[in-house]
């Protein structure tokens, strides 16, 4: 169920300081989603704090813990010549926290049902945001929510759409129970997703049947992390350009799975991956395209490591990605 944020909710997150202005002092809220079309804000933030899809995919829980610290960090970002709080509306979050806390990953039937419920609600909200001519910023949650984003964007635009995914994994697993490993499979199956580019796949964690599936579909393309950073057989900047050319012909989403970043607290934390700087560069590069229509930042899970600073660090980095995206869109 969608829980809308009020101005009081926002104020509770903001730490004001004399002589300064924080984004949270100027961001917008609404009391009903029907009011969205009347808002002057261009960007709409929504959280999906759940890890049911991750657990269904045999991953580590904790992805439900990233949204609140990310929002708090973002709202305490300085408003200045580079970013304006009035351009941003904080919608709220999908509240499945009771289900998250009580979910046993071995209950496949219940998990499948819950993920499908979230799919339906998220896609309907994304559709409303897009039809209101606004840009969704979705903070997860598991990567299962890619399906709701793609379905909502496709229905909002009345066409199949494209996506670029910065990820160690394809999330093109079989059409079985819904989980964080098959959001893109279902989006393709249901004709919401047309062209799909995967940036930085890890060769060690992609099954051969998935590579076979990719190679048989001209609308799917990829590069691997090993090609980019180990073998050095392709160049990062040139691959950004190649991927952009592949997906920029129609509205597209930007999907960021934080498990692609080295040593970043996430549901599939990796000792080998992209840097935070490369990830920020990636977001800014693609967001500057006029057809970039949403961003989804997922799988951050500060609770997977026993470090009190992880919550703030995860929140702060997601906040950087949000602001990079907004600045890029405003600089087109």
Q: Dump pLDDT digits (tens) for 49-87.
A: 999 999 999 999 999 999 999 999 999 999 999 999 999
Q: Above 90 in pLDDT, residue 37? A: yes
Average of per-residue pLDDT values in the chain:
97
Q: How far apart are the C-alpha atoms of 24 and 47, rounded to whole Å?
A: 16
Q: Is the pLDDT of residue 238 over 90?
A: yes
Does the model's pTM come out above 0.85? yes
Is residue 332 pLDDT above 90, yes or no? no
Specify the pLDDT at position 305.
86
| pLDDT at 46 exceeding the cut of 90 | yes
- Exposure b/e, 139-159, CB count within 10 A at least 16 = b: bbbbbbbbbbbbbbbbbbeee
Report pLDDT digits (tens) over 166-209. 999 999 999 999 999 999 999 999 999 999 999 999 999 999 99
Residues 6+ apart with CB under 8 A from 291: 162, 248, 249, 250, 251, 252
Task: Determine if the peptide bond prior to 84 is cis (ω within 30°).
Answer: no
Average pLDDT over residues 2-18: 97
* Mean pLDDT for the stretch of residues 104-126: 96
Task: Name the least confident of 104-108, 148-152, 164-168, 230-234.
Answer: 104-108
Is the pLDDT at 308 greater than 90? The verdict is no
Confidence of residue 306 (pLDDT cuts 50, 70, 90): confident
Q: Quick one: average pLDDT of 145-169? A: 98
What confidence category does residue 120 fall into, taking pLDDT thresholds of 50, 70 and 90?
A: very high
> What pLDDT is recorded for position 252?
98
> Is 90 exceeded by the pLDDT of residue 307?
no
CB 182 within 8 A of CB 172: yes
Structure tokens at 328: 């890029």
The backbone torsions φ and ψ at residue 198, rounded to the nearest 5 degrees and listed phi first, read -105, 125
N-to-C CA span, the chain: 35
> What CA–CA distance (Å, rounded) separates 296 from 253?
8
Q: What is the CATH topology of the domain spanning 2-330?
A: 3.40.800
> Mean pLDDT across the stretch 237-243?
98
Share of the chain above pLDDT 70, in %: 100
Helices (H), 34-107: 52-56, 67-75, 97-101
- The Cα–Cα gap between 281 and 200 comes to 14
324, pLDDT greater than 90:
yes
Residue boundaries of the structural domains of the chain? 2-330
Across the chain, which distance is largest between two alpha carbons, in Å? Answer: 60
Residue-level pLDDT at 38 = 96
């Amino acid at each position: 169920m969608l829980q809308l944020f009020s101005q009081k909710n926002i104020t509770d997150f903001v730490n004001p300081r004399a002589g300064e202005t924080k984004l949270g002092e100027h961001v917008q809220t609404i009391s009903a989603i029907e009011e969205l079309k009347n808002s002057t804000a261009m960007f709409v933030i929504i959280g999906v704090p759940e890890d049911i899809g991750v657990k269904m995919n045999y991953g580590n829980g904790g992805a439900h813990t990233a949204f609140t610290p990310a929002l708090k960090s973002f709202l305490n970002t300085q408003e200045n010549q580079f970013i304006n709080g009035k351009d941003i509306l904080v919608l709220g979050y999908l509240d499945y926290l009771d289900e998250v806390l009580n979910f046993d990953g071995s209950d496949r039937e219940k998990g499948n049902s819950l993920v499908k419920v979230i799919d339906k609600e998220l896609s309907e909200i994304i559709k409303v945001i897009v039809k209101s001519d606004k840009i969704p910023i979705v903070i997860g949650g598991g990567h299962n929510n890619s399906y709701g984003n793609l379905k909502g964007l496709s229905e909002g635009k009345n066409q199949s759409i494209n996506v670029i995914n910065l990820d160690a994994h394809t999330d093109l697993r079989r059409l079985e129970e819904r989980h964080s490993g098959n959001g893109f499979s279902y989006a393709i199956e249901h004709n919401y997703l047309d062209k799909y580019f995967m940036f930085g796949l890890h060769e060690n964690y992609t099954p051969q049947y998935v590579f076979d599936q990719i190679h048989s579909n001209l609308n799917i393309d990829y590069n691997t992390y090993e090609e980019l950073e180990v073998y050095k057989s392709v160049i990062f900047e040139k691959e950004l350009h190649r991927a952009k050319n592949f997906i920029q012909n129609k509205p597209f989403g930007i999907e960021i799975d934080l498990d692609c970043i080295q040593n970043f607290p996430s549901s599939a934390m990796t000792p080998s991956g992209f840097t935070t700087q490369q990830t920020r560069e990636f977001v800014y590069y693609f967001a500057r395209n006029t057809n970039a229509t949403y961003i989804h930042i997922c799988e951050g899970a500060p609770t997977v490591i026993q470090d009190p600073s992880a919550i703030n660090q995860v929140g702060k980095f997601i906040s950087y990605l949000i602001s990079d995206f907004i600045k890029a869109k405003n600089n087109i």
